[in-house]
Chain A
C-alpha cells in the first residue's frame, strides 16, 4: 500500500475587536437584537459611502508584527464581487493583490519537536451579515431572514503556507495563532461565536512525489475538534479515491459536524469569478515607519515570551507552562494569583488540577471562574505557611467556589486553622499512643506502616487540624 503525505494550509478569519465597524461607526457588539447595529453604510443603502476605521489598520499591523510579517506601506482596498443575500452591497471590501502583511510564521512544538509554519499573507476585509434560515439550509427553507449586525465588522484573513503535514500540526497552528491573537488583544477568538473561523485546504500525495495533490477546501470548521476531525476524514476520503485509481476533484466542501463527513459545495468550474477591482470609494492608506515602530514598541508579551518567563522566573516545568500560556486569560490569572502567593508552582498545580477540573465540569472559561486569583494565591500561601493542610485546603477551596470569601475568612469561619502548637499536638499524640499499644508495638517491631495508622488517629482527634508533619515527627520521637 502506498504511503501518503498530507498537506494542509489554513485560511483563518479573525474578527477584530474594534469598538466600531470597519467602514462605519456602528457598534461591533455581539449578541444584540437583529439589525440594531446598522446604518445606511453597512446596510448598503443607495448613496452611502465607506470610511475606513483606522483602528483596523492598527490591529492589522499589530497582528503582522506579532506573527513576524513584513508590513506593506502602501495599502489599498478592492471590491470582491459576488451575490449573496447576507452581503449588503453584493461586494465585499477586501484587499486583493496587495495585502497589508506578507511573510511571517508560527512556531509549534509537538512531542518536544519544534516546527516553524509559514504565513503567506494577512489582509483586511469586512464581514458579511448572518442568514437565519427557517429550515436547515437556504435551499430547503421557506424563508430566511438576514441580520446585518455583523455586516461590516472588520476581519483579518490570515493565510498560511501549505506547511502542515497532519491534523495535529494544524491544531497546534490554530492553538498558537489563537493564543497570539488573544495576547495582542485584537480578537475575542470565540470559535463558537464565529469570531475566529477556519477553512482548511487539504491534499495528499504519495510519499516521494514532487508535486502536491489536488486540494479540497473545507469550510465551516467551528472548533478545534471539527478541524481535526474534518482533516482526518478528508484525508481518508482522498486516500480512498486515489486507492481506487480515481482523481481528487478541486472543489469547496463543507464540514457536516453532525454526520462527521465533508460534503461537496461547489466545484472549481462553479467557483465564483470575484471580478476584483480597486475600491474607488476609499483612498489608499500609507503606513509610515513611525507608525510601524510605535506599534512594535507597544506590542505586549507574546505567548512564547510568556512561556519562557513562566519557566525561568516562576520555575514551572515547560509542559505545565505551555498549558498555562495557551489561553491568555489563564496566563493572566496565573500572574495575578502569583502576585499574592508564596508558591508559584503550587498555583500552577491548582490551576491545572482542581481549577481546570472545575472549569471542565461546569463548562465555563477561566474568565467565568468564581474564585478571584488573589484568593487562590492566598490559599496556596496558607498551605505553604503550614496554616492549612492540603486536605483542608480542598475543603476551603470548595467553599470558595460557593461564596466570594477569602481563604483566611473561611478558615476562621470553619474553624480550620491547622494546629502547629507542639504542646497541644503532643497531648493528642500521648493519648493516641496510650490507646493503641498494639500499633506502637508493631512500629517498634519494624512495621513502619503502623505509623500511618497512628498519624491518622491523631488527625482524627484533632479534626484534621494538626500539622501532619509535626504529628509525624512527635510520634517518631515518642516511640523511640
Chain B
C-alpha cells in the first residue's frame, strides 16, 4: 500500500486502529524517497536512523494502549532553516554547511512532544532568499509536477517533498510568500499564520519582522493539525503573541454561506497570467455557488509593496546575517592573515550571490544619510499597506487572490532578479501586514497547479481555514498526484 500518498489525519486513524504501524509507514516514506529523490532533490539531509527509532517508540505507545497525538508517528519534513538539535541545519548555505544546532527550535520541541517524526531537512533558497530554490548552495530542487520546472521557494524542498510523496507534512517559513508560493506551484496547501502566532525561536532569521513558520500539507485538515501543534506564545520569542490558540480543526466546517469574500482589484491586474486568472475566477464562482458573497475591494498601496519589502527585508537581513563571521561556527575561510580579513573572506566565500546582493542592499538602505529616504519611508508605507487591509476588511471577512501571478516556470529560466522579485506582489503585502494567508490548489494551467490565496484578518486563521476547507470539500484538486514528468 502506498501509505506515502495519504494525509496525516488518514494515517493517524490507521495507526490508532492498528491497521498500520509507524515503522511501516516511515519505511514506506523512505522507500518513496529512495525511489524519487534523485529526480526531485527535495532534501539536504535525511535522518532515517532517528526517524525509525522514533517510529518504533510511537508503535510501542500504541501497543501499550496509550493515546497518541494527531501527528504522532507520522513523518514530516523540516525546512533547513529550522533548528533541529543534533541534526545539520544549513539554510542551504555554504556558510552554515557544517552547523549542527545545540538546541531545538520551539516548533521542533512542540512537535517532538507530540511524537512527530522528522524525515530530514529540506532544501531551500539560501537563507530563504529567493522564490525558486535555485539559490541553494547544495543543489536545485525540481517540481514533481514537471521536473523541468522550479518548485518555487524559498520553501521549495518542503513543498516538493509533499507533492512527490517524500513526506506526509512539512514545515516551511514565509517571509514574503515562501510557504504559499511553493505550495501553489506544487499543488499543496500552505499556510502562513498571523505574525506572532508561531514562535520564531530557532527559525534562522531572514527578516525578523516578516518571518513566520507554517505547514505545507496535502489538505486543509492536515494544515489545521500542524497549526494546532506549533502555534502558541513562547517565552523565548518576544514577538510571539500572548493569545489563546483555538482548536483549528473546529473551524473546518463546509460552510461559507453569507461569508463576504473580497477580491482586491490590484491583484487581478496585467501581470497575472490569463490562464491563472481563469482558474481563480472559476474558484470565485464556486464560492458564489456555495453561498458566499463576493465583494470588490481595493488595496491601493499594493504597487509599493514589493519595493518596500525589498528595503525592509534586506535591511533586517543585513543585520541578521552579520553574525555569520567565521568566528564561532560555520564556514571559515582559510588563509586569512588578520581577524577582519577572516570575517571578510568567510562572508565573501560563504554566501552565495543572491544573499550577498541582499546584504549589500540592506546595508545601503540603512547607511547614514539614506536611512530616512529608504528605511524610514518604507516603514511608513508599511503602515499604509496595513491600513489598506484594515479598510478592506470593513467590507469583507476575507480576501481571495491568486497566490502567484504565474504557475511554476522553467528551471534556469534566466529571469533577472527584479522580474522574479515582482512576481511576489501577491504574497508580500500579507507579510507586511502580518496577516494569515493560505494557499490551496484550485486548478491547473499548462498542466501545472494553480493556487489561490485566502487572506484573513489578524489572528483569524479560522475563517480562511473554514473557507479553504469548504472549497476543498467541493473540489478534487487537492487529490491530484504529481506525475514526476518531464526531464530535468
From A48, A50, A277, B319 is in contact (CB under 8 Å) with: A277
Indicate if A40 sits at the interface (CB-CB under 8 A). yes
Measured between beta carbons, the chain B residues less than 8 angstroms from A50 are 238
B198 CB to closest chain A CB, in angstroms? 13
Indicate if B97 sits at the interface (CB-CB under 8 A). no
B-contact bits for A48-75, CB 8 A (1 contact / 0 none): 1111100000000000000000000000
Within 8 A of B (CB), among A264-297: 273, 275-277, 280-283
A138 to B342, CA, bound (A): 13
A-contact bits for B57-69, CB 8 A (1 contact / 0 none): 0000000000000
Would you call A44 and B328 a contact (CB within 8 A)? Answer: yes
- Whether A275 touches B91, Cβ cut-off 8 Å, given contacts A50-B238, A280-B208, A283-B238, is no
A247 CB to closest chain B CB, in angstroms? 24
Within 8 A of A (CB), among B363-411: 363, 366-368, 371, 375
- Whether A40 touches B319, Cβ cut-off 8 Å, given contacts A144-B339, A282-B238, is no
Residue of B nearest to A271 (CB): B368
Would you call A85 and B327 a contact (CB within 8 A)? Answer: yes
Indicate if A159 sits at the interface (CB-CB under 8 A). no
Would you call A40 and B103 a contact (CB within 8 A)? Answer: yes
Indicate if A88 sits at the interface (CB-CB under 8 A). yes
From A48, A90, A281, B322 is in contact (CB under 8 Å) with: A90
Would you call B102 and A45 a contact (CB within 8 A)? Answer: yes
B314 CB to closest chain A CB, in angstroms? 12
A88 to B327, CA, bound (A): 9
Q: Chain B interface residue count: which class?
A: 35 or more
Within 8 A of A (CB), among B185-238: 200-205, 207-209, 235-238
A47 CB to closest chain B CB, in angstroms? 4
Would you call B325 and A281 a contact (CB within 8 A)? Answer: no
A277 to B316, CA, bound (A): 9
Indicate if A409 sits at the interface (CB-CB under 8 A). no
Would you call B202 and A47 a contact (CB within 8 A)? Answer: yes
The tally of CB-CB contacts under 8 A between chains A and B is 107
Would you call A45 and B329 a contact (CB within 8 A)? Answer: yes
- Whether A49 touches B96, Cβ cut-off 8 Å, given contacts A85-B327, A138-B339, A144-B339, is no
Measured between beta carbons, the chain B residues less than 8 angstroms from A85 are 325, 327, 339, 343
A107 to B436, CA, bound (A): 56
Residue of B nearest to A282 (CB): B238
Measured between beta carbons, the chain A residues less than 8 angstroms from B205 are 46-47, 49, 281
Indicate if B101 sits at the interface (CB-CB under 8 A). yes
Would you call A47 and B338 a contact (CB within 8 A)? Answer: no
A49 to B325, CA, bound (A): 18
Q: Chain A interface residue count: which class?
A: 20 to 34
- Whether A81 touches B319, Cβ cut-off 8 Å, given contacts A45-B103, A49-B237, is yes
From B209, B325, B340, B368, A280 is in contact (CB under 8 Å) with: B209
Within 8 A of B (CB), among A142-174: 144, 146
Indicate if A139 sits at the interface (CB-CB under 8 A). yes
Measured between beta carbons, the chain A residues less than 8 angstroms from B329 are 45
Would you call A281 and B343 a contact (CB within 8 A)? Answer: no
Would you call B367 and A275 a contact (CB within 8 A)? Answer: yes
Indicate if A212 sits at the interface (CB-CB under 8 A). no
Residue of A nearest to B239 (CB): A283
Would you call A51 and B236 a contact (CB within 8 A)? Answer: yes
B-contact bits for A83-94, CB 8 A (1 contact / 0 none): 101001111000
Within 8 A of B (CB), among A27-46: 40, 43-46
Would you call A44 and B323 a contact (CB within 8 A)? Answer: yes
- Whether A91 touches B102, Cβ cut-off 8 Å, given contacts A43-B328, A46-B89, is no
From B204, B239, B328, B363, A47 is in contact (CB under 8 Å) with: B204
Within 8 A of A (CB), among B345-369: 363, 366-368
Measured between beta carbons, the chain A residues less than 8 angstroms from B202 are 47-48
Residue of B nearest to A272 (CB): B368
Indicate if A79 sits at the interface (CB-CB under 8 A). yes
- Whether A47 touches B101, Cβ cut-off 8 Å, given contacts A85-B339, A280-B316, A281-B238, is yes
- Whether A83 touches B343, Cβ cut-off 8 Å, given contacts A46-B96, A88-B328, is yes
Measured between beta carbons, the chain B residues less than 8 angstroms from A138 are 339
A66 CB to closest chain B CB, in angstroms? 28
Measured between beta carbons, the chain A residues less than 8 angstroms from B295 are none
Measured between beta carbons, the chain A residues less than 8 angstroms from B340 are 83
A52 to B239, CA, bound (A): 11
Measured between beta carbons, the chain A residues less than 8 angstroms from B237 are 49, 51
Give the one of A52, A139, A144, A273 with max B CB within 10 A: A273
Measured between beta carbons, the chain A residues less than 8 angstroms from B319 are 79, 81, 89-91, 275, 277
Nearest 4 pairs of A and B residues by beta carbon? A90-B322, A275-B366, A280-B208, A280-B209
Contacts beyond the supplied A51-B237, A280-B239: 12 A-B pairs with Cβ under 8 Å: A46-B96, A47-B101, A49-B238, A83-B340, A89-B323, A90-B319, A146-B327, A146-B328, A273-B368, A275-B318, A277-B371, A281-B208
29 interchain pairs, CB-CB under 8 A: A40-B102, A43-B328, A46-B83, A46-B204, A46-B323, A47-B81, A47-B82, A47-B83, A47-B89, A47-B201, A49-B201, A51-B235, A51-B236, A51-B237, A81-B319, A81-B322, A88-B328, A89-B319, A89-B322, A90-B323, A90-B325, A91-B322, A275-B319, A275-B368, A275-B371, A280-B209, A281-B205, A281-B238, A283-B238
Q: Give the interface of A toward B (CB within 8 A).
A: 40, 43-52, 79, 81, 83, 85, 88-91, 138-139, 144, 146, 273, 275-277, 280-283
